[in-house]
Amino acid sequence: MENTEIRCLNQLEAGHVQQTAALLVDSFYSMFKGITKEQELLRRLFTPCMQLDLIYVLLKDDRVAGLIAVSDSRRRAIVMNEETCVSVFGPVKGKILAWQLGKMLSIPAVKGDRSGYVDFIATSPEYRRKGVGGQLLTFAESGLDFDELYLDVLKDNLPAVSLYEKMGYRTETLKKSILMRLAGIKAMYIMKKKLR
């Protein structure tokens, strides 16, 4: 029988942080591969930029089975750091990436004090289609103090869109931008669920 719990990443060990960074990069590699195709460099880029107090993981037998990163109107779950970008990619590419990724990932995505934003949600391959994503969303909806929760999803990620619709999320807008296109990110739906 598996021991399952959801914990804030800032309460866990360095090994869990590394597992979470690997899951983030692996799950969103199609979006990040425009930066570099080397996943280890992506892990080195994102690990120090993760705001551990805004990321929650579902642990199964002390292994990261899934993650959810939830930001608010003041902070995002990933805050790009120019120093880190430069140390990983050098002064020119690093500064460009810090600016570009900072515009997409580091600026608050919601305005209301009682609004939350799911920056990332991901499940380890061996736990997909076993309810992990739903458990993480349910945790964010009931365990965090928001009146409404937003998330974005690639327009062509039909399984995720279907899950979110089943959980009560409704499409608000279609998001496209030149920065997203330059980063290799396709159009995304912004979805919302009223919680209270």
User: Using one digit for the tens of pLDDT, what is the confidence trace for 43-55?
Assistant: 999 999 999 999 9
pTM, to two decimals: 0.91
> Binning pLDDT at 50, 70 and 90, where does residue 1 land?
very low
Q: Which residues pair with 170 in a beta bridge?
A: 192
Q: What is the dihedral of CA 23, 27, 32, 33, to 10 degrees?
A: 100
78 by Cβ neighbours in 10 Å (0-12 / 13-18 / 19+) ranks as buried
Report the percent of the chain where pLDDT is more than 70: 94
Q: Going by C-beta distance under 8 Å and a sequence separation of 6 or more, which residues neighbour residue 99?
A: none
Least confident piece of the model among 2-6, 64-68, 117-121, 173-177: 173-177
Least confident piece of the model among 29-33, 67-71, 78-82, 161-165: 29-33
Q: Going by C-beta distance under 8 Å and a sequence separation of 6 or more, which residues neighbour residue 24?
A: 46, 50, 67, 69, 120, 122
CATH of 4-147 given 3.90.1150.200, 3.40.50.280, 3.40.50.300, 3.40.630.30: 3.40.630.30
The pLDDT value given to residue 34: 85
Q: Which residues of 125-162 are buried (b: 16+ CB within 10 A; e: fewer)?
A: eebeeeebbebbbeebbeeeebebbbbbbbeeeeebbe
The pLDDT value given to residue 82: 95
